Chains A and B, each alone.
Chain A
Amino acid sequence: MLKINDLKAGIEDVEILKGINLSVNKGEVHAIMGPNGSGKSTLSAVIAGNETYEVNSGSILFDGEDLLDLDPDQRAHKGVFLSFQYPVEIPGISVSNFIKAAITEKRKVLGLGPISAKELLSSMKEKMELLSMKKGYLSRNMNEGFSGGEKKRNEIFQMAMLEPKLAILDETDSGLDIDALRIVANGVNKLKSKENATIIITHYQRLLDYIVPDFVHVLHNGRIIKSGGKELAHELEEKGYDWVTKEADEKWGY
């Protein structure tokens, strides 16, 4: 589904991603872990199409098509979704209107007919239940005055509504208490299927207790320096990152 080849990207003259290679197949859950400043959020931003970052070389093939040729909205229509580490507040637009605008545009692009207001509302209510959202949530302005936990739940709610093929969860666990973490993880697990894939970007192993990954990758200084199964996450939690980064630093010369 996703194949990243030798991806190099950065801001202005500073190269942050120094050659990323990653393959994700449908039905898989991948975790990308790494210390602060390793390039985790840059990777998710580049996949989603944030123009702040300049891509210098490489490709991001998604179902055979290079995402780098597409605008962020086109990537979304193909089925890419990014759950933001810091969701943006948009005053003046209610959650329901926002979702409606996103769904309407996606259906239009995909050549599907318009969805009735009733159908949309009942679908929203169903997803709200999944994430234990409070009544009145739909008429609140997008992320405005939301607590950290509410913002993250709102991200997963959008994911549930947009039904992406590939969901990238960027530090979705940060700022969540244990109850909210459980709700969010439960929501993500319920949305998993054989047809879609998930990339979890995280600093800690905590979230991975709830959403069990098939593969774990360690990102350091813009490169994936180690990959393994779910047990790698536990190893990192116990030993820290030093033992893997040291080896890599020797290899790449830091």
Chain B
Amino acid sequence: MGLLENIQKNIADNPILINSEAAFSKFLELGFPDIKNEEWKYTSLKKVISYEYEIEKNTEEISEKEIKSNSLNFHNAIIFLNGKIYSKPKIKGVTISNFEDQNPSFDNAITALNASIASNGYSISVDSNTVVSEPIEILFLTKNSSNNFIQYRNNINVEENSEVKIVEHIKNLSEKICFTNSVTLVKLKKYAKIEHNKLQDNNDNQISIDHTYVDQDKNSISTINTLIFGGLFTRNNLNFTQNGERGESNMNGIVILDNKEFADNHTFMDHKMPNCESNELYKGIYLGRAKGVFNGKIMVQPDAQKINAFQANNNLLLSDNSSINSKPQLEIYADDVKCSHGCTIGQLDENALFYMNTRGISKEDAKAILTFAFASEALDKITIKELSSLARDLMSKKLNVNLSF
């Protein structure tokens, strides 16, 4: 059968599951995108939708111990077990509620599917003039006895002059495949600030498609850090829209993949208003037969003068069979802007390796140190200490080294 039939059968059995008929018929009309779709040219869904999935069934119990060992154990934690909210914190000036979506918006087949049948997720609303001092960890744990398809739909609303930091972590604890389709809508009011970190460190048991939309009012600052250290198939879509002047959008990513892992980072920066800024830095490290895709589009609309837009995607291919498709896209319709973009693909510098060897550093360690140094620029953007130290641990594990510093 495959995923499409699995979904259709599930809906036929339980028609009540549909939130929006319009969204569902749009999904059926469009179907899952194939590689003829320009946005999916290097990213084929064919295989991952050919597997058989249960739709949020056959769940297994997740123990306290498993929660603890997969968590940063922050005081502020929203924990989902198999899609359902298990615990949520009480934070002054912050309202956290379960999935709620009055307006199931969508802009493509996959977000239409999410809008039509998602029934899990969180909604965070930060009152105006509130700085949430401790970061909020959002943990989505699943454990299933069969392959599972699950959807999350989240809202984050940060009111004027407020600030929040988030770590979002999706983790599959079973050996069966979990296919996650998430949509997160972020709204920043004027002078609001968010740092949203996404940690994606699964094994070959996880398929993720994520869409995150960030809508910014004037003088707001958004930062999204994406850390991908594994996963059978990952497709992230980040969409930033600046609706007011003097906004700033930052996106940073580190991708380290091995074996047959695959990750695609699609970003879209929409500069609609003047005097804004965007910074984008993605670092990719590919081992084994891993494959990466990067597509970074920057749009500067006609009225968006005095824009500063920077984009870089640097990649290291550390094996003969790894690959990366990198595509920067600039569309500029204003004449007084500063835009730069660069994409590099390379191997480790042999001269640097030899230099380090002569100082007594072994080949393996020299490679690891150089690889770390390569990625560290993007890692430096994370301001949550616990997360950057976890990321360092995960990186050294992934690169199979013990770092002495």
Q: Which residues of A contact B (CB under 8 A)?
A: 48-51, 71-73, 75-77, 81-82, 84, 87-93, 97-98, 100-102, 104-106, 109, 158, 162
Task: List which B343-377 residues lie within 8 A (CB) of chain A.
Answer: 349, 351-352, 354-363, 365, 369-370, 372-374, 376-377
CA distance A97 to B356 in the complex (A): 12
Point out the residues of chain B lying under 8 angstroms from A97, CB to CB. Answer: 405
> Which chain B positions have C-beta within 8 A of A90?
352, 355-356, 370, 373
For B372, the chain A residues whose CB sits under 8 A away are 92
Q: Chain B residues near A77: list those with CB within 8 A.
A: 360
Mark interface residues in B89-128 (1 if CB within 8 Å of A CB, else 0). 0000000000000000000000000000000000000000
B404 in the interface (beta carbon within 8 A): yes
Q: How far is the CB of B256 from chain A (nearest CB, A)?
A: 15
Shortest distance from the beta carbon of B325 to any chain A beta carbon, whole Å? 25
Known: A90-B356, A93-B369. 5 other contacts (CB 8 A): A72-B358, A75-B358, A82-B358, A102-B360, A106-B360
Give bound CA distance, A82 to B405, whole Å.
24
Complex-state Cα separation, A158 to B360, whole angstroms? 11
Interface residues of B in 307-363 (CB under 8 A from A): 349, 351-352, 354-363
Chain B residues positioned under 8 Å from A98 (CB to CB): 356, 359
- Contact present for B373 and A100 (CB under 8 Å): no
Nearest 9 interchain pairs by C-beta: A92-B373, A76-B360, A72-B357, A88-B355, A102-B359, A104-B404, A106-B360, A97-B405, A93-B373
Smallest CB–CB gap between A90 and chain B, Å? Answer: 5
Chain A interface SS verdict (over half): helix
A51 to B350, CA, bound (A): 10
Cβ-defined contact, B357 with A71, below 8 A: yes
Q: How far is the CA of A186 from the CA of B373 in the complex (A)?
A: 33
* Chain B nearest Cβ from A120, distance in angstroms: 11
Which B residues are in CB contact (< 8 Å) with A162? 359-360
A-B contact pairs, 18 of them (CB 8 A): A49-B357, A49-B358, A51-B354, A71-B357, A72-B358, A73-B360, A76-B359, A82-B358, A84-B355, A84-B358, A87-B355, A88-B349, A93-B373, A97-B405, A98-B359, A101-B361, A105-B361, A105-B404
Complex Cα gap A97–B360 (Å): 14
A89: chain B residues within 8 A (beta carbon): 352
**Separation of A175 and B355 alpha carbons in the complex (Å):** 19
- CA of A242 to CA of B14, assembled, Å: 96
* Complex Cα spacing A98 to B376, Å: 15
Does B358 lie within 8 Å of A101, measured CB to CB? Answer: no
Q: Closest Cβ of chain A: how far from B195's Cβ, in Å?
A: 22
Measuring CB to CB, which residues of chain B are less than 8 angstroms from any residue of chain A? Answer: 349, 351-352, 354-363, 365, 369-370, 372-374, 376-377, 404-405
In the bound complex, what is the Cα–Cα distance between A93 and B355 (angstroms)?
A: 13
A72 surroundings in chain B (CB, below 8 A):
354, 357-358
The reply to whether A73 and B362 contact each other, CB–CB distance below 8 Å, is yes
A92 engages B374 (CB within 8 Å): yes
Task: A15 to B355: give the CA distance in the assembly, Å.
Answer: 24
Taking CB atoms, residues of chain A closer than 8 Å to B351 are 88
* B375 and chain A: residue at smallest CB distance: A92
- The residues of B that contact A50 with a CB separation of less than 8 Å are 354
Query: Which A residues lie within 8 Å of B356 (CB)?
Result: 90, 98, 101-102
Inter-chain contact A158/B359, CB cutoff 8 Å: yes
Q: How far is the CB of A48 from the nearest CB of chain B, in Å? A: 5
CA distance A124 to B385 in the complex (A): 27
A104 / chain B contacts, CB cutoff of 8 Å: 404-405
* Residue in B349, B352, B361, B373 whose CB lies within 8 Å of A73: B361
Distance in Å: Cβ of A31 to nearest Cβ of chain B:
21
- A88-B352 in contact (CB<8A): yes
Contact of B361 with A102 in the complex, beta carbons under 8 Å: yes
How many angstroms from the CA of A215 to the CA of B304 in the assembled complex?
Answer: 71
Complex Cα distance, B354 from A51, in Å, reads 9
Q: Which residues of B contact A76 (CB under 8 A)?
A: 357-360
For A49, the chain B residues whose CB sits under 8 A away are 357-358
Nearest B residue to A141 via CB reads B373
B370 to chain A: which residues have CB within 8 Å? 90, 92-93
A-side contacts of B373, CB under 8 Å: 90-93
**B360–A109 CB distance below 8 A:** yes
A11 nearest CB across to chain B (Å): 14
With most chain A CB atoms within 10 A of its CB, the pick from B356, B358, B372 is B358
- In whole angstroms, what is the CA distance A75 to B358 when docked? 8
Residue in A84, A92, A109, A158 whose Cβ sees the most chain B Cβ within 10 Å: A92
Q: How far is the CA of A100 from the CA of B356 in the complex (A)?
A: 12
Shortest distance from the beta carbon of A61 to any chain B beta carbon, whole Å = 19
Docked-complex contact B404 and A73, CB < 8 angstroms: no
Contacts of A158 in B (CB 8 A): 359
Distance of B392 from chain A, by nearest CB (Å)? 13
Q: Which residues of B contact A101 (CB under 8 A)?
A: 356, 361, 365, 369, 404-405
